[in-house]
């Protein structure tokens, strides 16, 4: 029993010694924290002498000393103003259906327009349609019989286009001469209109006298300027760009 009590005492003694060591170490550790864990340096300022001493706690200041503290780090600056909102980005093309392909640019120079066509049995065809209008590259009188006016059967001219046309033989061609006389040549009615094999050149030969609206000088004199087309398009259905044509003057060159 005596030995047991002694053992207990020994244990208390060990714990006590450890406590002293830990406490001492804590004291040393605390004294070493200048600045403290928050980065604050504590000091005591002597009112009379102006002396300043650094301590590990304001509690160490004497009665005639004013505790003073300062941070090592400066105070964080205010948050900057929010920047202006950036411009909205372009909307992505985002295909969500095969039909969204309709209208998209296509072709080697992106001059065409995509078109989706559905067939029987679930078949789908994709076309790249030409969206560039044709132009007239050459316009000339081919034959002029009877009067010098463009008026009688067998008077003829031809027009060459910049690309393959629809080959329509029942279109119309509006013309005006230099004094303002206008006429509409109606293929299959007033004239026979034929295409070359490539369907790029249209030959127009009057088959009956051509009526006209009188200008300053009666009759449709040569040269005549083409002003419009009806039902004459390229194979994609684009009407000719009359004003943008190189040569729309029906003359002898």
Beta-carbon count within 10 A of 224 CB: 26
Least distance in angstroms from the C-beta of 220 to Ca ion: 6
Q: What is the DSSP letter of 120?
A: G
Of the pair 67, 219, the CB lying nearest Ca ion is at 219
Q: What are phi and psi of 26, to 5 degrees?
A: -60, -40
**Both ends of the chain: CA-CA distance in Å?**
140
Within the chain, residue ranges assigned H as helices are: 2-31
Least distance in angstroms from the C-beta of 128 to Ca ion: 33
Of the pair 43, 150, the CB lying nearest Ca ion is at 150
- Rounded Cα distance, 196 and 158, in Å: 11
Least distance in angstroms from the C-beta of 140 to Ca ion: 5
CB 54 within 8 A of CB 42: yes
Of the pair 41, 192, the CB lying nearest Ca ion is at 192
CB 114 within 8 A of CB 127: yes
Indicate the residue whose CB is closest to Ca ion: 181
Token pair 């009379």 in the structure block, residue: 48
Of the pair 61, 191, the CB lying nearest Ca ion is at 191
- Rounded Cα distance, 121 and 111, in Å: 31
Least distance in angstroms from the C-beta of 200 to Ca ion: 16
Of the pair 43, 240, the CB lying nearest Ca ion is at 240
Least distance in angstroms from the C-beta of 196 to Ca ion: 17
Give the E-state strand segments of 131-223 in sequence order: 136-143, 156-161, 172-177, 182-186, 191-195, 201-206
In the complex, the residues that contact Ca ion under the rule CB under 5 A are 139, 144, 146-147, 152, 155, 177, 179, 181, 215, 217, 221, 247, 249, 251
Least distance in angstroms from the C-beta of 163 to Ca ion: 18
Least distance in angstroms from the C-beta of 145 to Ca ion: 5
Q: What are phi and psi of 25, to 5 degrees?
A: -60, -40
Q: Give the pair of three-digit tokens for residue 168.
A: 């329509």
CB 193 within 8 A of CB 202: yes
């Amino acid at each position: 029993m005596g030995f047991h009590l002694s053992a207990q005492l020994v244990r208390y003694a060990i714990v006590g010694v450890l406590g002293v060591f830990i406490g001492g170490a804590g004291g040393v550790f605390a004294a070493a924290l200048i600045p403290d864990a928050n980065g604050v340096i504590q000091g005591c300022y002597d009112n009379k002498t102006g002396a300043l001493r650094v301590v590990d706690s304001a509690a160490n200041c004497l009665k005639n000393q004013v505790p003073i503290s300062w941070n090592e780090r400066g105070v964080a600056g205010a948050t900057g103003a929010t920047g202006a909102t950036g411009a909205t980005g372009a909307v992505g093309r985002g295909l969500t259906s095969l039909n969204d392909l309709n209208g998209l640019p296509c072709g080697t120079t992106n001059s065409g327009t995509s078109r989706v066509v559905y067939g029987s049995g679930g078949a789908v065809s994709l076309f790249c349609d030409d969206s560039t209008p044709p132009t007239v590259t050459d316009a000339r009188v081919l034959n002029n019989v009877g009067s010098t006016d463009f008026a009688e059967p067998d008077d003829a001219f031809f027009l060459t286009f910049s690309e393959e046309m629809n080959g329509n033989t029942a279109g119309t061609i509006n013309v005006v001469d230099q004094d303002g006389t206008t006429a509409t040549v109606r293929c299959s009615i007033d004239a026979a209109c034929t295409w070359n094999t490539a369907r790029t050149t249209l030959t127009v030969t009057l088959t009956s006298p051509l009526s006209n609206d009188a200008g300053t000088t009666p009759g449709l004199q040569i040269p005549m300027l083409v002003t419009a087309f009806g039902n004459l398009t390229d194979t994609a259905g684009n009407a000719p760009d009359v004003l943008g044509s190189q040569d729309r003057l029906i003359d002898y060159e």
